[in-house]
């Protein structure tokens, strides 16, 4: 296995990680990424295989578990009960309860309100150059997930701050200041949700939090901590990835000059999938090996970690001819942007719905939309999103 070195915070990599991925894929299914001190899966078949291999998972093997530092206690308390970090049987129970509340019917019912929201946001666009991330790409998913959960929309700025602070813990550029801020925001988020869930118990409504509470009270149930962690996860994951997907997608569409034909009804789904494939919002997930196992010529020992590089898998030329070219007309092939296996993103249908609505409305309403400056990506690997998206309309 080839060893490769690439700092995830090096400026050229932050702005364009794909040349490194091309080099890594040329070296085989797996490489050793020295900067992370772990094996990385870099091709489509390896990433998809490991997503589905139950000999690997998210939970730390018990003998490797260590108590976290005291200053991170509020953040760790949320993580400890998160669906994202759980494996069966705990994951099976949690996901079943979430899916009972997070139904396709509930998501589809959001369509009219998402359409109205998009038009209202565009109506408020200023004439001078402005940041489309703040004015549109962030607002569509965060307000939508507020409505879905039943959280007051005027809480959106607080939810954004808490969410950004908490997910920053996964960045390669994490510092002690990052940790202190994440812990504080996790504490504030938990206190808000604890109070708000109490209100929904006494005054139920037709929203996701009420449905989660109902699911909690029918035999197999969500504990208070699980309920809070699930709401945090749905709020965080429900908008973070979609913000990046919308921002990266607008950037890509403007730079490729393919906007007009990309939103015809017969190719819209293909455009959304190509946006997700070409420049996904999340580039790496990690898994632990739960036993000694040989895959793709490498023997993992129990407790070894492996990095699944989604951004690399999505540019695999064995699956997509000329993969470094953005082509909305491509036949749809399954990409890895929403993960795979039992941890496939529970919010994927909502994210796709938001993109199918928000992108065509934006380009239809703003036919002269253009970049006011070259966008830059934030130093936040393994997330992959823009710092801002300055545009003219």
Q: What is the mean pLDDT of residues 143-171?
A: 90
- Using pLDDT thresholds of 50, 70 and 90, give the confidence band for residue 224: confident
Instruction: Say if pTM beats, i.e. exceeds, 0.75.
Output: yes
Averaged pLDDT for residues 326-346: 91
Average pLDDT, the chain: 92
Reported as a single tens digit per residue, the pLDDT across 250-304 is: 999 999 977 667 888 888 999 999 999 999 999 999 999 999 999 999 999 999 9
- For the cut 70, the answer to whether the pLDDT of residue 94 exceeds it is yes
Domain limits at 316?
3-392
Does residue 363 register a pLDDT over 70? yes
Count Cβ atoms below 10 Å from residue 152 Cβ, excluding itself: 11
Over residues 130-140, the mean pLDDT reads 97
| Confidence at residue 266, expressed as pLDDT on a 0 to 100 scale | 85
Q: How many separate domains does the chain show?
A: 1
Domain of 102, CATH number, reads 1.10.630.10
Whole-angstrom Cα distance, residue 41 to residue 258? 32
- Give yes or no for residue 102 having a pLDDT over 80: no
Q: What is the distance of C-alpha 324 from the center of its chain?
A: 22
Predicted local distance difference test score (pLDDT) of residue 101:
67
Give me the pLDDT at residue 377, please. Answer: 97
71 vs 379: CA distance, rounded Å: 24
């Amino acid at each position: 296995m080839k060893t490769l070195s690439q700092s995830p915070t090096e400026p050229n990599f932050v702005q364009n990680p794909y040349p490194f991925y091309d080099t890594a894929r040329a070296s085989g299914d797996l490489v050793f990424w020295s900067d992370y001190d772990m094996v990385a899966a870099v091709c489509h078949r390896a990433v998809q295989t490991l997503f589905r291999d139950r000999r690997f998972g998210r939970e730390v093997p018990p003998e490797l578990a260590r108590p976290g530092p005291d200053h991170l206690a509020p953040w760790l308390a949320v993580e400890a009960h998160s669906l994202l970090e759980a494996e069966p049987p705990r994951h099976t129970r949690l996901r079943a309860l979430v899916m009972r509340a997070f139904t396709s019917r509930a998501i589809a019912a959001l369509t009219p309100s998402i359409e109205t929201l998009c038009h209202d946001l565009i109506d408020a666009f200023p004439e001078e150059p402005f940041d489309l991330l703040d004015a549109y790409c962030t607002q569509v998913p965060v307000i939508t997930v507020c409505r879905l959960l039943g959280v007051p929309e005027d809480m959106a700025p607080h939810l954004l701050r808490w969410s950004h602070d908490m997910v920053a813990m996964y960045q390669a550029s994490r510092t002690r200041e990052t940790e202190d801020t994440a812990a504080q925001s996790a504490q504030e988020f938990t206190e808000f949700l604890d109070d708000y869930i109490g209100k929904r118990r006494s005054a139920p409504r037709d929203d996701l939090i009420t449905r989660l509470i109902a699911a909690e009270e029918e035999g197999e149930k969500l504990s208070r901590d699980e309920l809070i962690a699930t709401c945090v996860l749905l709020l965080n994951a429900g908008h973070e990835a979609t913000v990046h997907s919308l921002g990266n997608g607008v950037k890509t569409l403007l730079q490729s000059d393919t906007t007009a034909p990309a939103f015809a009804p017969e190719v819209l789904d293909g455009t959304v999938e190509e946006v997700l494939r070409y420049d996904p919002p999340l580039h790496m997930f990690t898994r632990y090996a739960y036993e000694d196992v040989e895959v793709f010529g490498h023997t993992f020992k129990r407790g070894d970690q492996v990095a699944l590089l989604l951004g690399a898998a999505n540019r695999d030329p064995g699956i997509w001819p000329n993969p470094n070219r953005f082509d909305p007309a491509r036949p749809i092939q399954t990409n890895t942007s929403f993960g795979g296996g039992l941890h496939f993103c529970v919010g994927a249908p909502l994210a796709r719905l938001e993109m199918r609505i928000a992108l065509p409305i934006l380009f239809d309403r703003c036919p002269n939309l253009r970049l006011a400056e070259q966008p830059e990506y934030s130093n936040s690997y393994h997330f992959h999103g823009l710092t801002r998206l300055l545009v003219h309309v």
